[in-house]
């Protein structure tokens, strides 16, 4: 996958599509968005992690590093294949407005469960064979995941370390009895994963046919309350007597927070992972590359050094830097997987050894234009400082929209930006988009909110704020032809035009 070919694209998570059931999904609106990208000559669609969201509905806090989020399954697609009635799907007709996750789960999950039951009772021989093949091929993560979710539901979403002893410590006889007792529920959960990946594979194939490469996202850490940690706590820094983390992840105090950020993810036992040939990471990255074309590695500096916080500490202040696997991990990944089409999220204070690791494997780093105007030291985020092996963004999912930033930035930032951008009759958002597109960076990604000219109300996430995030959706009809034409003209003049389709494939029955 050539990351040195100039290209541009749009950042949009599927939950932000105007989905039929109160949340964006992998149905018709997703295909309409891909058509918009193709019309706009955009070669990239960047998404956030597709895993089941847990704490705060964040896609970066998931119950599995491998499973897909069932809420993204398109009920319309299932109805088209007779698995659920169109009338029942129509009762959820809420194509616009922010995502109400509690309501979506309350209303959508029972219909998904009903579709699963229909399939398991009525699937044709060919359909059942495809399902059985999926289950067998993915048993290495699927079987533990579906049991984890069933037990989590049984125990009122309590963390796994609070379950009965035999379940928390995975007593073999206890788990075998549970698999028998919960057999029907587990089979329905297997179907939901099958339906998700069938629908995602069909959409991914369609992206390739329209010349769009999907940029996925892999968070370096996983959640403590996840199937991954419950299944194999020995590869994490877990005190096996108390079943509590010994230390957790975060970042130290900086200009944005006097107490740093205490994320709470368990840290890896990198010595154990190394002894195992990094097999878990090989499987994780192989799985990610099977479902996306390019992978953004979140918190890349943590692979070189990470901030370790004793679990009893309430903030990130009293942590310390510890060495990650560095070169050793990426050497193994390259040996096992070949080409590594990775983007390194290298924002913040980055040391020379982190830069050296990224450059050794030719990974593009990230530059955010909103960061460029705070003081002369921030000018490293301006285009004249870029290496070509860079991805430039106007902002990311963690930033305000460009118009929101413009309205709330300091007077100094506004003067500095105005000196470079000049007067923009079509708004500061388009001035920033043009600055990004015209830069020397090989890759350019713009959040859809900036293309649509939306303000702070359309922000996707405010870091360290636990409620109200990840809910924005664009309105039906927002992807106007004139916007596509404007983007296409920019892509053409900046030599970022998308290229013919690179992939092909048939339609999947659950898509």
298 is an active site residue:
yes
Q: Is residue 325 part of a domain?
A: no
Q: Is residue 437 part of a domain?
A: no
254 is an active site residue:
no
Q: Is residue 244 part of a domain?
A: no
- Residue 32 structural domain: 7-218+442-493
DSSP H or E stretch at residue 191: helix 183-209
User: One of 39, 187, 353, 398 is an active-site residue; which one?
Assistant: 398
Q: Is residue 317 part of a domain?
A: no
Q: Is residue 461 part of a domain?
A: yes
Instruction: Indicate if the alpha-carbon torsion angle 80, 84, 88, 92 is positive or negative.
Output: negative
398 is an active site residue:
yes
CATH number at residue 129: 3.20.20.80
User: One of 198, 217, 345, 437 is an active-site residue; which one?
Assistant: 345
pLDDT in tens, 351-396: 999 999 999 999 999 999 999 999 888 999 999 999 999 999 999 9
Query: In 10 A of CB 415, how many CB atoms?
Result: 11
Q: Which long-range contacts (CB under 8 A, 24 or more apart) does 57-62 make?
A: 57/99, 57/101, 57/469, 57/470, 57/471, 58/461, 58/469, 58/470, 59/13, 59/15, 59/217, 59/470, 60/219, 60/298, 61/223, 62/219, 62/222, 62/223, 62/226
Q: Is residue 157 part of a domain?
A: yes
For the chain, the domain total comes to: 1
Q: Is residue 146 part of a domain?
A: yes
Say whether pLDDT at 207 is over 60: yes
Total-model pTM = 0.96
pLDDT in tens, 83-124: 999 999 998 888 889 999 999 999 999 999 999 999 999 999
Sheet architecture: strand order including 342-344: 342-344, 294-297, 213-218, 44-46, 7-11, 443-447, 390-393, 365-368
pLDDT in tens, 390-414: 999 999 999 999 999 999 999 999 9
Share of residues in the chain with pLDDT > 90 (%): 90
User: One of 298, 313, 328, 353 is an active-site residue; which one?
Assistant: 298
Q: Half-sphere exposure of residue 183, counting CA atoms within 13 Å on the CB side?
A: 5
Helix (H, G, I), strand (E, B) or coil at 301: helix
Q: Is residue 260 part of a domain?
A: no
């Amino acid at each position: 996958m050539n990351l040195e070919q100039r290209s541009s694209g749009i950042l949009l998570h599927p939950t932000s599509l105007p989905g039929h059931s109160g949340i964006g999904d992998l149905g018709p609106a997703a295909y309409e968005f891909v058509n918009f990208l193709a019309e706009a000559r955009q070669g990239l669609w960047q998404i956030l992690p597709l895993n089941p969201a847990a704490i705060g509905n964040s896609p970066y806090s998931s119950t599995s590093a491998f499973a897909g989020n069932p809420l993204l399954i398109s009920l319309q697609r299932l109805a088209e294949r007779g698995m659920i009635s169109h009338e029942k799907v129509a009762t959820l007709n809420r194509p616009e407005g922010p995502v109400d996750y509690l309501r979506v789960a309350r209303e959508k999950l029972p219909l998904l469960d009903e579709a699963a039951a229909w399939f398991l009772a009525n699937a044709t021989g060919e359909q059942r064979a495809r399902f059985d093949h999926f289950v067998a091929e993915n048993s290495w993560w699927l079987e533990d995941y579906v049991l984890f979710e069933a037990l989590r539901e049984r125990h009122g979403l309590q963390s796994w370390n609070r379950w009965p002893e035999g379940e928390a410590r995975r007593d073999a006889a206890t788990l075998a009895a549970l698999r028998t007792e919960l057999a029907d529920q587990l089979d329905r959960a297997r179907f939901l994963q099958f339906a998700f990946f069938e629908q995602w594979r069909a959409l991914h194939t369609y992206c390739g046919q329209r010349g769009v490469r999907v940029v996925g996202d892999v968070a370096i850490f996983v959640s403590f309350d996840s199937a991954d940690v419950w299944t194999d706590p020995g590869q994490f820094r877990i005190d096996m007597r108390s079943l509590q983390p010994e230390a957790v992840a975060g970042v130290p105090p900086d200009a944005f927070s006097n107490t740093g950020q205490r994320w709470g993810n368990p840290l890896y036992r990198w010595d154990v992972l190394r002894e195992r040939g990094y097999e878990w990471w090989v499987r994780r990255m192989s799985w990610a590359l099977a479902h996306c074309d390019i992978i953004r590695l979140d918190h890349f500096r943590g692979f070189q050094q990470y901030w370790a916080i004793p679990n009893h500490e309430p903030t990130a202040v009293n942590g310390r830097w510890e060495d990650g696997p560095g070169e050793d991990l990426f050497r193994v990944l390259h040996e096992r997987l070949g080409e590594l089409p990775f983007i390194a999220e290298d924002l913040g204070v980055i040391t020379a050894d982190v830069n050296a690791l990224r450059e050794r494997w030719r990974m593009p780093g990230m530059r955010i234009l909103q960061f460029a105007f705070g003081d002369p030291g921030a000018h490293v985020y301006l285009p004249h400082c870029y290496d070509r092996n860079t991805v430039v963004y106007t902002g990311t999912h963690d930033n305000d929209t460009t118009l929101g930033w413009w309205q709330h930035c300091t007077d100094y930032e506004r003067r500095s930006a105005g000196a470079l951008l000049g007067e923009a009759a079509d708004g500061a958002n388009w001035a920033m988009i043009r600055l990004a597109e015209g830069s020397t960076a090989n890759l350019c990604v713009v959040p859809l909110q900036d293309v649509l000219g939306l303000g702070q109300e359309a922000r996707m996430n405010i870091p360290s704020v636990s409620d109200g995030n990840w809910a924005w959706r664009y309105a039906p009809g927002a992807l106007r032809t004139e916007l596509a034409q404007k983007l296409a003209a920019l892509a053409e003049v900046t030599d970022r035009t998308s290229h013919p389709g690179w992939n092909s494939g048939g339609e999947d029955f659950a898509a």
